[in-house]
Amino acid sequence: MKAKILELLKNTDHYISGQKLCEHLGVSRTAVWKIINQLKEEGYIIDSINNKGYKIISCPDILSESEIKSSLSLINTDKLNKIIYLDETDSTNTRAKLEAEQGAPDWTLVIAGRQTGGKGRRGRGFTSPAGVGIFMTLILKPEFLPTKASMLTLISGMAVCQGIREKTNLKAMIKWPNDIVVNGKKICGILTEMSSEMEAINYIITGIGINVNNEQFPSDIADKATSIKLETQKTFRRSDIIASVIKHFRNYYDTFLKTVDLSLLKEEYNSLMINTGKKVFVVQGNKSYEAVAKSIDNDGELIIEKDGQISRVISGEVSVRGVYGYV
């Protein structure tokens, strides 16, 4: 009910009477009054005027189940079957796996305010401090073949890129296959994991970590990590960015499902990819070599040119970095 009241207040630019809220929700005036007070305590500035009602003046950047649900109510969420919000967890990917195994439906979104053991690719960690970042994992249970799953990282990358662009105007770009960068520094990492049989997927989880209002980073990553706040000098509401990323993901995923490949998306992907036309180091196990990144193909593989020869590299097997640094 709190989410519903928040949703009604957020979606109206005039005062809503207590009576109207009661009728709409089928609860008593005291119940509405109590929730309004809780919202005020959480940091929402709500004006209340006798005989006029309530009007929301400003919303802080907080994450809670009601905040997330009220922000998601502004987009098309027909596909989203379940939202799990936790103030703290070890890793939303680990929690999502558990939920998926215990029967969570397709399109379950797990979000945490903080991770104590955020996971990155190749066994690395992901810095996940409280109150400033987005840590979320989407559980999908699709019908397509396991070989197609890695493309979800690329779709998530496009969704994050457009979500950040839409909400902040920053020129976010994708560093193939799983980082989003702004001004040459990493602002988001994506970790997709899967449980499958030979021919069928049990579930895919795609975990997204976005640095939103971080003001600093641990010294070992400070030179290559950034946040939306560091790039704009402004604080952003994480729930708005989550909603925008989910909106874009839904659209891209629908397009992907038409062909179960990236043929309809690759042109846009290539225009968002920072590596396009750049010299990169392709790192494969303990081997690395220099090549020029050309574009992605229909399966999300990176087409590279090395000594005049064209070849393809697969996202799960290699990573690329710029010849002169991170990008």
What is the contact surface with ligand BTN in residues (CB under 6 A)? Answer: 91-93, 115, 118-121, 124, 126, 135-137, 189-191, 207-209
Residue 5 or residue 111: which is nearer to ligand BTN going by CB?
111
CB of 213 to ligand BTN, least distance (A): 15
CB of 192 to ligand BTN, least distance (A): 9
DSSP string, 94-123: HHHHHHHHTTPPSSEEEEES-BSS-B-GGG
Question: What CA–CA distance (Å, rounded) separates 149 from 141?
Answer: 11
**Is residue 146 within 8 Å of 138, Cβ to Cβ?**
no
Task: Kindly give the pairing relationship between strand 279-284 and strand 287-296.
Answer: antiparallel
Question: What CA–CA distance (Å, rounded) separates 110 from 99?
Answer: 9
CB of 322 to ligand BTN, least distance (A): 16
Residue 35 or residue 139: which is nearer to ligand BTN going by CB?
139
Residue 39 or residue 112: which is nearer to ligand BTN going by CB?
112
Residue 121 or residue 294: which is nearer to ligand BTN going by CB?
121
Strands, E, within the chain: which ranges? 45-49, 53-58, 82-86, 108-112, 133-140, 173-175, 179-182, 185-196, 201-211, 279-284, 287-296, 302-306, 309-313, 319-322
CB of 311 to ligand BTN, least distance (A): 24
Residue 92 or residue 244: which is nearer to ligand BTN going by CB?
92
CB of 160 to ligand BTN, least distance (A): 11
CB of 3 to ligand BTN, least distance (A): 22
Whether residue 177 is preceded by a cis peptide bond, meaning omega within 30 degrees of 0, is: yes
Residue nearest to ligand BTN as judged by C-beta position? 189
Residue 64 or residue 211: which is nearer to ligand BTN going by CB?
211
